Amino acid sequence: MRTAASTSASAPRTMPPPMTDIDSRKHDHIDLCATGDVGFRDKTTLFDQVELVHDSLPELDVDEIDTRRKILGKELRLPIFISAMTGGTARARDINRQLAEIAERRGIGFGLGSQRAMLDPAAAKDETYVVRDVAPTTLILGNLGGVQAMATTTDAARSLVERVGADALCVHLNPAQELVQPGGDRGFKGVLAAIERLVEELGVPVVAKETGCGIGPRAAEKLARIGVRHVDVSGSGGTSWVAVEAARAEGTARALGLALRDWGIPTAASVVFCQNARPRFKTIIATGGVSSGLDVARAIALGATVAGIARPVLQALLEGGPEKADAFLAQVELELKSAMLLAGCKTLYDLEQADLIIGAGLERWAPSSVRSGSSLSRRNR
């Protein structure tokens, strides 16, 4: 009789399935975002142009600082998301599950990467996105591309949400990335109508999300007019997805990517544009180059509801595992609470009202909304 060990030794090895184009792209994206030179070159988030005014007499204890935020039907302990990054591969599954566990423990939100791979029933990619079992109470955002939304029925989009237990669906907008991406989309007519249909029919909140180029005043007004009430600005200054695709491209596509590498609206400016849209957005998520608790504080003081962090969390996870990613987010929390205390802000509502000094760089982007070198209060906006 053969033992279990000898049976295992003699059994043929099961080879992993061949990598698809989507698999290859997702692997490239993870590697490039972790270690590649894919940041914006000259353009920043402009959060360095936002300064909270110091209060030497805050009359607060650190333990009093309240960072809770209700958003999309759930309460976060901190006004932070681990922003959408990946999905569709076994490697992405491990990343999503590890980060979702951290989000659950820290009381923050979690965004899934594009669920495009789940649209193919033969691909069997659901398990790379499912994290609800390790994050039972976490606010989870699903994710579907705007171009894919045009070709996806409302029922099919609802299925994407239900299969991962998401609380809302992000529809991501990435024309600049697609123009450079090998085999990327080239037609974008009808995306706005598809978003409007989902807002009216989906049954869960729809978040219009950029992917590193920001939402400007014209796009913000279009989205507001069709009933979108939740946006993720995903502005420029952090990871350039154009640079990511340029690194994967060749020939004219690569040259185009290099030319457009710094294309986009800085995150701070995009927050201001969306904060001033009419009708008003209920939720503004500030992502794109957010890398510290000070950035989170500045974003909320400008008008964001919460902030999202992506690449720094991924880098910490890949460098030192969940412990390092968790430690990074602990530092972000410490910085946020310290900034709030030093600005005399007990709650996030107080932070929204805080006086700011706005630099000329941000004023140049939004001259009708901010005043260069002056004290700016949301009471006056």
Give residue-wise pLDDT tens across range 29-74.
887 787 788 899 999 999 999 999 999 999 999 999 999 999 999 9
φ/ψ of 215, rounded to 5, equals -105, 120
Q: Residue 123's pLDDT is what?
A: 79
**By three-state DSSP, how is residue 47 classified?**
helix
The pLDDT of residue 36 is 80
Positions of E strands within the chain: 50-52, 69-71, 74-76, 80-82, 109-111, 140-145, 168-173, 206-210, 230-232, 283-286, 306-309, 356-358, 375-376
Q: What is the pLDDT of residue 125?
A: 86
User: ∠255-256-258 over CA atoms, to 5°?
Assistant: 65
- Which distant-in-sequence residues (6+ apart) come within 8 Å of 335 by Cβ? 292, 293, 294, 296, 297
To which residue do tokens 């904060």 refer? 275
Whether residue 347 is predicted with pLDDT greater than 50 in this model: the reply is yes
- Averaged over 231-256, what is the pLDDT? 94
pLDDT at position 376: 45
Give residues with Cβ within 8 angstroms of 159, minimum separation 6.
none
Q: Domain 21-30+40-380 carries which CATH code?
A: 3.20.20.70
- The contacts of residue 165 (CB under 8 Å, 6+ apart) are 130, 132, 140
Task: Indicate whether 224 pLDDT > 80.
Answer: yes
pLDDT tens, residue by residue, 265-280: 999 999 999 999 999 9
User: Does position 314 have pLDDT exceeding 50, yes or no?
Assistant: yes
* Cis preceding linkage at 79, omega within 30: no
> The tokens of 150 are what?
């045009």
Give dist(CA 338, CA 237) in Å, integer.
24
Domain parsing of the chain, residue ranges:
21-30+40-380
At 151, which helix (H) or strand (E)?
Answer: helix 146-151
- CA 292, 294, 299 angle in degrees (round to 5)? 100
Q: Which residue has the higher pLDDT, 370 or 209?
A: 209
What's the mean pLDDT in 372-380? 41
Q: Model confidence at 369, in pLDDT bands (50, 70, 90)?
A: low
What residues pair up with 356 in beta bridges, in sequence order?
52, 376
Q: Are 263 and 43 in contact (CB under 8 A)?
A: no
Looking only at the bridges linking them, the beta strands covering 69-71 and 74-76 are antiparallel
- What are the counts of helices (DSSP H) followed by strands (DSSP E) for the chain? 15, 13
- Percent over 90 (pLDDT), the chain: 82
**How crowded is the C-beta side of 271, counted as CA atoms within 13 Å?**
33
Task: Identify the pLDDT of residue 235.
Answer: 97
Contact present, 253 and 182 (Cβ < 8 Å): yes
Instruction: Give 350's Cβ-side CA count (13 Å radius).
Output: 19
